[in-house]
Amino acid sequence: MVIAGPASENLGNSVAQLTGSHAVRVENKIFPDGESYIRFEETIDDEVVVVQSTYTPQDKHLMELFLILDAAREQGAHTITAVVPYLAYARQDKQFRSGEALSAKTVLRLIESSGATRFVTFDVHNTDILTYSRIRTVNLSAMPAIAEYFAKLDLKRPLVLAPDVGSSDRAKAVAEKLGANHDFFEKRRDRVTGEVRTVEKSIDIRGRDAIIVDDIISTGSSIENVASIIKREGAGRIFAACTHPLLREGVIERLSRAGVDLVVGTDCVRSDISKISVAPLIADAVRE
């Protein structure tokens, strides 16, 4: 049985279809005071897969996830796999300043205490946080799906680029699938202002198409900096792709002004540019 939460209805239903499972009908609404309501319209099996992402509004989507997990457990499920394609609060992965709450740990522990017996996510910001979880956790990569998307385009001597060291393995994974080269930039972020600076470097991009890949696009600064550098170096078409399009308002226009021809993301997060589905990757993981 697959329970598709309100944040990932289409994705959950696709997973149910691909795995030949039953998709549970879920009633959900918001009370006038803003609180969430969840009800399963049918009896729950012993083993369920819950698909609910936790993108903006994070707190609402998290609360719906906790309600679903707990209700599934209360209604008799013993094996509950929580598939949370985008894990909210994962970026506060350590105490950068004394006294800070460690939100990544809090959220993982709440998922577990709400009833999850297994946890699956995608391209989590820092895999170290998964050690906070005491249940079995799997961190999947959306890069095979992203590579598959670009393999269908007619690219000219593509170069796959990461905007920082943290995403260099992602660029490598996409490049290997495409039989292309890859490279990465170095990025510095000001801890207080959040401002991003990308270290300039000479790169063999003249006349070639570029694909910049990252886990998240939020303000767009990381991608914008790389796009501006490679545009000056004579890049051909510039594509940007990410697992989690958390897109702040105006980001697509901002990237387009920086020379990016196309921005695409996956359905880990629902957005206008979520053209790549991770459903087949979840289906494979669930079957395993």
Least distance to ligand R5P, CB of residue 244, Å: 8
CA angle 276, 63, 3 (to 5 degrees): 55
Q: Which stretch binds ligand R5P (CB under 6 A): 4-12, 65-73, 126-134, 219-227?
A: 219-227
Residue 212 binds ligand R5P, judged by CB under 6 A: no
Closer CB to ligand R5P, 21 or 243, in the complex: 243
Tokens (6 digits) for 275: 């053209």
Residue among 209, 211, 203 at smallest CA distance from 186: 203
Asked if residue 215 binds ligand R5P (CB under 6 A), the reply is yes
Question: Which residue in the set 28, 92, 117, 219 belongs to the binding site for ligand R5P (CB under 6 A)?
Answer: 219
Given the complex with ligand R5P, which of 221 and 277 has the nearer CB atom?
221
For residue 181, what are the β-bridge partners? 159
For position 123 contacting ligand R5P by CB under 6 A, the verdict is no
What DSSP string describes 270-287?
-STTEEE--HHHHHHHHH
Query: Looking at 172, 187, 201, 231, which residue is catalytic?
Result: 187
Residue closer to ligand R5P by CB (options 5, 265) is 265
Is there binding between residue 167 and ligand R5P (CB under 6 A)? Answer: yes
Q: Which stretch binds ligand R5P (CB under 6 A): 54-62, 142-150, 209-217, 270-278?
A: 209-217
Among 164, 172, 182, 205, interactor with ligand R5P by CB under 6 A: 164
AA letter at 42? E
Which long-range contacts link 200-206 to residues 24+ away (Cβ below 8 Å)? 200/229, 201/229, 202/233, 203/159, 203/161, 203/229, 203/230, 203/233, 204/159, 205/159, 205/230, 205/233, 205/234, 205/235, 206/233, 206/234, 206/235
Annotated catalytic residue 29: no
Reported as type and span, the H/E element at residue 170 is: helix 168-178
Tell me which residues are annotated as active site: 187
Which residues bind to ligand R5P, rule: CB under 6 A? 163-164, 166-167, 196, 214-222
